[in-house]
Amino acid sequence: MISVLGAGAFGGALAVALARSGQAVTLWARSGTGAMDAARALPRLPGVTLPEGVAVEADLGRALAGDGPVLLALPMQATAGFLEAHGAGLAGRPVVACSKGIDLGTLEGPSAVIARLCPGAVPAVLTGPSFAADIARGLPTALTLATADAGVGAALQRALSTPVLRLYLSDDPKGAELGGALKNVVAIAAGVAIGAGLGDSARAALMTRGFAEMSRIAVHLGARAETLAGLSGFGDLVLTCTSDGSRNFRFGLALGRGEGFDPTVTVEGLATAEAVVKLAAREGVEMPVAGMVAALARGRITVAEAAEALLTRPLRKE
């Protein structure tokens, strides 16, 4: 039995995809499980029907019955609080983080949060270029599955792969999770560029320099450069910076246009931008694009001021 904790778009999509491939899945949600079970539908995935293999569960204890993998599909900023309350019950099990971000309080990635708050659990990270709607529709998708435990990683790769969901194994969870988190910040910057009418060339420049920042901080923190060049870094960056399906890109688009944005939509890149600015300052790593996004998002500078600040930086070698 695979336990998916969190019935948002991504958690729901994973539950649907795994059940279609013949896996028994329990999908836990904080609320609304009765309506989901009755309608066999997910609020965040309109038009998607829950397969029979998905058991919708409101009781966390029943959702965690057995000893199978646990897919933690909660927002990054809610993960630590949830695990502080319930992490002890996950000892001895693979716990796979499916969120993308950096904890604002501790500046940790999801694998470190799991390791700290789930003693005895095996942390893993599932990340990469993917939209929940594509996974739920059964469209071909490739993701990175990263864990330091090779044996557990191989078992998870077999359990979580489907005919159309291809998982590539990595032993660099830090690199995988940093790629997934940091590309959201760059996606906001790319959206700002398009929303403000700065053009596709400006977007390409921000993507390229943003990727350089991503790689710089990740390698400084002990990740491998090749991990950032793979699905979890470069691959996810391309998808998130070029599609309206990305919430972070859409947020940046609205910001660049001077428009409001739906406050009920989770934009992980906002918290990540704040966290990475603190992290960069602590580590002495230069990250001007991330700093610009954090300042823009909080209204400390205007789009025109942000563009001028980036364009007037000293000329240097690439």
pLDDT digits (tens, 9 = 90+) for 160-182: 999 999 999 999 999 999 999 99
Please name the fold of domain 175-311.
N-(1-d-carboxylethyl)-l-norvaline Dehydrogenase; domain 2 (1.10.1040)
**Predicted local confidence at residue 112, as pLDDT:** 97
pLDDT band, very low/low/confident/very high, at 84 (cuts 50, 70, 90): very high
Backbone φ, ψ for residue 224 (5° rounding): -100, 140
Residue 124, token pair as written in the block: 């893993």
Contact 8, 44 (CB under 8 A): yes
Q: In the chain, what percentage of residues exceed pLDDT 70? A: 100
- Which residues make Cβ contacts (< 8 Å) with residue 305, sequence separation at least 6? none
C-alpha distances out from residue 188 to 18, 37, 118, 295, 303, Å: 31, 35, 32, 12, 12
How far, rounded to the nearest angstrom, does the alpha carbon of residue 206 sit from its chain's CA centroid? Answer: 20
| Mean pLDDT in residue range 24-47 | 95
Residue 96 CA, chain-centre distance (Å), reads 12
d(CA 147, CA 120): 14
Pair of tokens at residue 185: 């910040």
Helices (H), the chain: 9-20, 33-39, 60-63, 76-86, 110-117, 132-136, 150-160, 173-195, 200-220, 225-228, 236-242, 247-257, 268-283, 288-297, 303-311
| DSSP bridge partners of 54 | 25
Domain 2-171 has CATH 3.40.50.2000: no
pLDDT tens profile 175-201: 999 999 999 999 999 999 999 999 999
Could you say which of 100, 183, 278, 317 is catalytic? Answer: 183
Residue 94 has pLDDT above 90, yes or no: yes
Is residue 315 predicted with pLDDT exceeding 80? no
What residue ranges of the chain are covered by domains with CATH 1.10.1040.10? 175-311
End-to-end CA distance of the chain: 49
Q: In the chain, which residues fall in CATH 3.40.50.720? A: 2-171
Residue 308: band (very low, low, confident or very high) from pLDDT cuts 50, 70, 90: confident
Predicted local distance difference test score (pLDDT) of residue 7: 96
Q: Is the pLDDT score of 26 beyond 90?
A: yes
Selection from 180, 185, 91 nearest residue 144 by Cα: 180
Annotated catalytic residue 183: yes
pLDDT tens-digit series, residues 291-301: 999 999 889 99
The count of residues in the chain is 318
Residue 265, SS3 per DSSP: coil
237-275 pLDDT, tens digit per residue, is: 999 999 999 999 999 999 999 999 999 898 999 999 999
Amino acid 169 reads L
CA angle in degrees (0–180, nearest 5) for 249-217-254: 15
pLDDT at 311: 80
Tokens of 123: 């942390």
Mean pLDDT taken over the chain: 96
What three-state secondary structure class fits 266? Answer: coil
In the chain, the largest separation of any two C-alpha atoms, in whole Å, equals 61
Q: Is residue 197 classed as helix, strand or coil in its secondary structure?
A: coil
Average pLDDT over residues 72-93: 95
pLDDT tens column, 202-251: 999 999 999 999 999 999 999 999 999 999 999 999 999 999 999 999 99
